[in-house]
Structure formats: structure tokens, C-alpha cells
Amino acid sequence: MMLKITFVFLLSFMTQEAAKEQPAPDQPAKVEAAASETAAAAPEQKTDPKPAPAPKPVPPPTPAAEANPTPAPEPTLPPAPAPEPKPEPTSKLNVYPAQITLGSALDRQSIVIQRTLSDGITQDLSDSSTIRIEGPAAKFENGFVLPVADGDAKLIVENEMQLVEIPIKVTGAANVPPVSFQNDVMPVFSKTGCNAGSCHGAARGKDGFNLSLYGFDPKGDHHRLTREMLGRRINLAVPDDCLLTNKATGAVAHSGGSLMSRDSEYYQTITRWLNAGATEDVGKVPTVDKIELYPPAAVLNGPETNQKLAVVATYSDGSTRDVTNLAYFSTNNDNSAKVSQSGVVTAANRGEAFVMARFDTHTVGSDVIVLPKDVQFTWPDSIQPHNYIDERIHDKLRKLRIIPSEVCSDAEFIRRTSLDICGIVPTSEQVQTFVADSDPEKRSKYIDQLLERKEFAEIWLMKWSELLQVRSVNNQVSYKSTLLYFDWLKERISNNVPVDQMVRELLGSTGGTFSNPATNYYEIERDKLKTAENVAQVFMGTRIQCAQCHNHPFDRWTMDDYYSFAAFFAKVNRKQAEDPRERIIFNGGGETKHPVTGKTMQPKFLGGAVPDTKNKDRRVVLAEWLASAENPWFSRNLSNIVWAHFLGRGIVNEVDDVRVSNPAVNPQLLDEMAAKFVDYKFDFKKLVRDICNSRTYQLSTKQNETNASDETNFSRSSLRRIRAEILLDVISQITETRDKFRGLPLGARAVQIADGNTSNYFLNTFGRAKRETVCSCEVIMEPNLSQALHLINGSTVQNKIKQGGVVKKLIDAKKSDDEVLTELYLRCVSRKPTEAELTALKATVAENANRQQALEDVFWALLNSREFVFNH
């Protein structure tokens, strides 16, 4: 019987799910009509001025011989026609870079010319525009601005009716600078992949030759090239015939293959260095302060459309250099946009990509959107933003030519918000009252009600306990310390203490782990380097672990950055308190040394300045900066964490992996949310209110023709499996049963568990975080077979149905089958059954002699359904 009812129910639910996956019935017609309107209303890209009408002919003057002695009156001419107004440009012309500085005879600068049409489409005109230079200081040849003489000049670009002027300044035009090992030779190794992790940059090198990964140790690399195996790797007498040049060109067998030709710039750079004696740089070498990638964005119209790129580096001495030929290019989505190592993007399939350029220790990126060829699109007037969140989301969707889904139903909304904000499901009475309410402000009011419940604080207490790894550790953190730490956190979250204040108390804490429970943060993790990594990951969303051994290959962080940041925690010390279970955290001695240079590192903020820490607690100095407006990552990271909780994925995803090569899908939205969060003085409730009141959060899961393939831009709501603790809690809530967890009274919720080591089989199966690391990946949200089998065959659901006696209570209350089934649906999935579901289930129940058993089978099937297990 159970299997029969389950089949009937799941068949019905699958029908509903299939309906959800399809576009709304009238959507294709709407899209098609919108496309027709767009085609009819689209202006011509070029508008030729109308020719001026010819003036009416004037009668010829009377010949002089026949003229009357009285002068003839002047003929009246028709008024001259008004000049036709010049048509407004239908596009904007941009030339990159906006100014050019050439500092030597070898300097040069490539040019990128991009036109942006009124509909946002961009076109690369770098090779099809009229380019000239005014002034004797420079010339334009083969796509480059080249120096001629010291002085100023102007590069002028003309296209259609637009003209752009770029200033040029030339200095040292007659100066040929010596080749620099660090700034000329090392970049060649990076560009050709010689010092990559798969080649000689590996920890043990390759084929007996080792280089530092991506050139983080130029001094060591110079030694290995010139001093190891003397006379073999380089040959100063015959530079063209040494192992370095022969292997690079493939003249000698090389596992990396041929990397350059003998007429290439890379080969010429290396041989120039060898001919100059393979010298090491003398004195202070200018370092790269930043690089810029042009253009900053592109919207490409159809496959095979190209966009040229240019990369300009700015050095510590103020000089600039075109390093396009030395930068390494990559893309995070070559299915949509491919990029060549010469710096040309080629459009492929519809979508978006982040195209990156890496040079020295810097990586920058450019957003590239690829659209179908000449796609027609009109934004429906009916879709209006609720707040600033929707404005930024809609801006992005317009660029992508995506129409967001319709708003979810009231029943879906009340269940979704109850689960997300408080980790509960609404009662059947609440659902029916809410759906029947005609107040247009009812959704906003319901959100406000949820935010005032204690369950809201409990949800965020659970999440912060994961971020701070609240758990007992054998012989290190006692259970008593864990409870005190948890209660300290609970008190602050329950009282809505601003998170910046909480972070300052936490990181700057000293004293006993009993008397000042916040100090347990330094007991749970005693490794000072690991503590620095955790602080960066939790409070800035940044993983700096890679920079412990080498410069980060895909982000800005260097080994110097890593060990300078770790220096903030170098003086954290511990001693035993009178109670053997308690420890005292205090500031003592200790420094952090760079493992390569041996240098004692001074504390330095990540991406910031070197602060004054003399006679100060370094951690307090760090905490003040970390939670201040000077640190742009703090508010962005916390905003992203909150967003991910409610939308299922972060604007930067994963939330604790913020890096250049993992960009925000909507940086404008993230910036605005972060600014609001600061304005709100880090009040979580206000930010949650903004998110939940947005149209974006309230979208349906139903797809339409334009957003069916969108998984990242929040054009529709996503199905999200309910996380372990909340799933167990709502099963207990619906079945009217109680659970018992260590240290908590009977009936406590799973979200209230203090110790990460306290768990049970259900929580483990559904992926509860063990709090052993700060990684967001510890919380497993993906469904798997073990979870399905436990719901179907395990004791949790079946036992709770029997223990709670919900069905029996309804039968004892003389409820009809219609009423019982409706009540079960409202409890489990916050809606009434459809007529088809009700008819099928009533018939199946009627066939069973044991009415209670049959209705309990329906209850069991509901609790096993995807509609129950997922928030939607």
C-alpha cells in the first residue's frame, strides 16, 4: 500500500515539477511579440542627412539696352532653407589607453578602438579606423605608436562622425635601456610557461632544472641559470648555441616542446641578455604597481566576433609599458569566449566569460558577454524593480537579453521566507490566512514579523558557529569552554550587536577561556599561520593559502603579503590557568620570518598599508582596520554571505573564494549592498529585509524562454535542498515530535547545537558541518543517494510519524479524508492539494481497510517528496 500511494503522489509531483520547468504558457508569444516590436522600432545604425532642397530659379535680369531708366526693384528671393540638424551619433567611440607615455627608444604602445552601440553591443574597430598622429614626437606603424623624438604629440582616431584625441608624451627617445633580468627576461619565462607549475616552476622542477613558480624568486632564478651547471645552461661565448636557447627553440629535445622561434621578440630578449653578459640587475629595480586590461568590458554580437586586448603595466618609478605580448591570457569560460595568447578574444556560444591577463604578480580581468547574432529583445514594462537590488539585477539581465521569471505565489513565498529567515515552516493556519489576505503590503509585513522571532537569531548563530569553528577539541578546548564560547556568540547575535563590533571583540580578545570566552578563537586554532589564513577567509572571503609557498598564481597576493599578514598573530601566547580546563591568552614575544629571504616581516594589512604597531596589540590594530571602511573586503564579504544564504549561491561563488579569477557576477550590486551594510552600521536585519523584499528574491522557479539556461544571474529562483539541521527541525515541527541533543533540553532544535562535534546519523547524512575548517564547503547541500535511502528506509521519518500521532489526532477530531489530506499538504508543502491529487489519494485511501495507516502513508510520501525536501 505504501508503495502504491507513494507512486500516485510522486507521479503527481513529477507532473508539477515538469510544469515548473516549462515556460509560462504565454511566454513564447510575449517574447516573439517583443522581438517584433523591437525590430519595428529599431533605429538605423547610420542616418544619412537629407539633401537640402534646391532654391527656386530667379528670373534673369533685363538686358541693359532694353532697361527702363528707373532701376528695377531687387527680385525677392525665397528664404534659405534651415540647415538640416546633424544626426546624433548612434554609438560611442572609446580609445584605449586614454593617454600614452613612451620612455625609451624600445618603448611602444598598441591601441584598442571600441565602439559601443546604443543597444550596448560593442564592436572592435582597432583595424578599421582612420588613425593618424599630429606632432613630430611619435609615429604610428603596424598597429603601434612608436617614439621618434622627445616631446608631445596627439593620436587622432576617426570613425564615422566621431573623433577621439589621445595625448602622447615621449621622453628618452634616443635611449636604449639595458636588458633587465627581472623586468625583461623573467616575464618571457612566465609568458612561455617555463616557470609554470606543470614545468620548471614545480616544487621539484623538471628535468633537473628548477625555477621559482611564476618568478616569485628572481634572485634565486638568476643563480640557477648562471651558476648551476656552469657552461651548460648558458654560453656567453656563443649565446645562440647554449642549452637555454636551443631547448627553447626546439633545436635540442625538450619535453616542453618548441616555445619560441629565433626571430621572435622573446628569443631576441634572451639573446640580448646573454650578449650583455647575463648580468643580474644592479640597484633597486622598478616593480610593477598595477596592470590595466583594455577594454574593461565587451558585448559581442554572435559567434566568431573578435575583440582585441591591450595590457599596460605601471611601475613603481611612474613609468608605463605595453606588456600585451608578455601577459598570459586566460578565460574562465571558453565555451562562450576564447582568448589567444596574442590577446584576441573570439566569441563562441551565448553566455559570459571573464577574460584575464596575468603579468608579474598581478591579474586583471575584463567582462565579455556573447549574444546570439542580431538577437531581438524588449524588456517588458510589467517588470518593475522593488528596490536597488532589482535595479542592479535588471541592469545585468538587460545586457544579457534575459527576462526574469514571474513572481512566486503567496504559498511559495510564505514557505520560502519562513525556511530562509527562521528555519521553520508556516502552520496550515498561517498559510491559509496569508494567501487569503488582500493587503498589498502583506509580504513586507510578514518579513518584518519573521525578523523579530528568536529563530532568526538562532539561524545566524548556527552560521557564525560554523565560521568560527565552535567545537570542543580534545586536550585543547573543553566542552565547558565550548558552551561558554557559544553563549558569548549567542548573546551578541540575539542582541543584534553590530558584526564589526563583535569582530573587534573577538580578534582583540585576551584573558582566560572561561572568563573571556572570545579567547577560545585562539585555542581552537593554535597555528599562527593557519589563524591568519582563517581570518582572511572568514572576514575577507579571501584564500591566501597559496601564497605561503609562492606568489599566488591567480590573485594579487605574494609571499610577502602572506607573511606580513601572519605577523599580526606572531605574539599570541598561551599559559595554563588554575583550572586545568582553562587557558590564558596573552601577548608575548614572537616574530614571523619569510622562509625564502629570512627577513623578519612587519605587520601589513592585506592590500593595505603598513600600520604603526609599536607598543600596541597587533591584533587590536588589525581588528580596527578589518572592520572599518578602509577595508573594502569586509562589508562585501559579509554581504555576499548573507546573499548566498537567501539566493542559494553568492554573487561571488564560493563565498570564501574571492579572487580576481573568480569575479562577482554582478559587482555593481555587491558594491551597493556593501555600502548599504556600512550605512546600516552592520545591522544584519536591515540587509536581510532589503534582500527578501526584492523582486529578485521573490521570483518563481519557473523558467521562460530567455532564462532557461541561466544559472548565475538570479533571473529565476533556484531549487535549494534544505540544509541538515533545518530539515530535521521542520520534520520534527510538522510531526509534532521532539529531539534530544547533548547539552540541550528535550525539544531543542538542531540549529541550537553548540558543539560542532555533537551530531547524529541524520545530520551527518545530510551534510552538517563538523566545524573542523572555516571552508563553506563543509556544509553539504547537494542531494545524494544516502539521503534518499535514509528518508525512505531510515527510522527518522517513519518513527516521527508514529510518535507524533498527527494523523490519529486528526482522525479523532472527526476530520474527513478531504480535511486530513488538505491539512497534511498544508503542513508539509504549504499548499492545498490539487483536485487531481485529492481525487487520486482519496481513492487510494478508500481502498485500504486501515484508514489511519493509509493516511500515514500519504504523510510519509509527502515528507519524502522533492517538494518538501527542497526550498523553492
pLDDT per position as a tens digit, 359-382: 998 999 999 999 999 999 999 999
pLDDT tens digits along 83-99 = 454 444 568 999 999 99
Q: Looking at residue 84, what is its pLDDT? A: 52
Question: Can you tell me the mean pLDDT for 33-53?
Answer: 36
User: Which of 5-19, 323-337, 341-355, 387-401 has the lowest average pLDDT?
Assistant: 5-19
* Residue at which a domain ends, from 197, 231, 255: 255
- In whole angstroms, give the CA distance from residue 483 to residue 517: 9
CB-CB neighbours of 336 under 10 Å: 19
Q: Identify the CA nearest to 393 among candidates 742, 743, 825, 713.
A: 713
Q: Are 111 and 222 in a shared domain?
A: no
DSSP annotation of 659: B
- In whole angstroms, give the CA distance from residue 439 to residue 37: 35
Indicate whether 79 pLDDT > 80. Answer: no
Assigned C-alpha cell, 449? 514579523
Residue 111 lies in a domain: yes
Q: Are 207 and 173 in a shared domain?
A: no
Terminal C-alpha separation, the chain: 29
Q: Are 543 and 590 in a shared domain?
A: yes
pLDDT tens digits along 63-73 = 333 333 444 44
Q: Looking at residue 13, what is its pLDDT? A: 40
* Residue at which a domain ends, from 626, 653, 681: 626
Mean pLDDT taken over the chain: 88
Q: Are 544 and 590 in a shared domain?
A: yes
Q: Are 512 and 570 in a shared domain?
A: yes
pLDDT tens digits along 741-768 = 998 999 999 999 999 999 999 999 999 9
Question: Can you tell me the mean pLDDT for 346-369?
Answer: 94
Residue keyed to cell 517584433: 36
Residue keyed to cell 622561434: 261
* Residue at which a domain ends, from 231, 255, 279: 255
How many structural domains does the chain have? 3
Q: Are 119 and 225 in a shared domain?
A: no
Question: Can you tell me the mean pLDDT for 145-158?
Answer: 96
Q: Are 552 and 583 in a shared domain?
A: yes
**pTM of the complete model:** 0.85
Q: Are 214 and 103 in a shared domain?
A: no
Confidence band for 82, pLDDT divided at 50, 70 and 90:
low
pLDDT tens digits along 551-566 = 777 778 889 999 999 9
537: domain range? 498-626
Residue keyed to cell 525578523: 451
Q: Looking at residue 705, what is its pLDDT? A: 92
Residue 345 lies in a domain: no
Q: Which domain CATH number covers 154?
A: 2.60.40.1080
Burial (Cβ within 10 Å: 0-12, 13-18, ≥19) of residue 548: middle
pLDDT tens digits along 482-531 = 999 999 999 999 999 999 999 999 999 999 999 999 999 999 999 999 99
- Whether residue 567 contacts residue 601, with contact meaning beta carbons closer than 8 Å, is answered with yes
